[in-house]
Amino acid sequence: MPFDDTTGLVPAGELHIASLLLHVRPDRQPTVRAEIAAMPGTELHIEQSGKMVVTVEGPHEGWIADRMTALHLLDGVFSAVMVFHHVDRGEGGVPSQP
């Protein structure tokens, strides 16, 4: 999930990684899946009828909160709940995963 299209690096400092559980109307899942795929810094990992597990990566807590709100506001999403949050305080830029 690259954050800087020119360097492919996550900004120096902290990297926040969170996993979210989304409860979704089953008939809206294909549309929600497509919107998640188009949202930078998000990745859908697994889903079943009415549920999706999504990870979000970003430079700070506010960025994670903004993505969580954006996911919650998608048409067909009943709730987006944070299940896990990790902060990596590495030095310098960290190569992002493709």
pLDDT tens digits for range 66-95 = 999 999 999 999 999 999 999 988 755 444
CATH no. of 14-89: 3.30.70.920
- Compute and round to an integer the Cα radius of gyration of the chain: 14
Q: Are 71 and 36 in contact (CB under 8 A)?
A: yes
- Asked whether residue 65 carries a pLDDT value surpassing 60, the answer given is yes
pLDDT the model gives residue 9: 52
pLDDT the model gives residue 11: 55
- The predicted model scores a pTM of 0.77
- Measure the CA angle with vertex 81, ends 25 and 20; round to 5°: 90
Q: Specify the amino acid at residue 90.
A: G
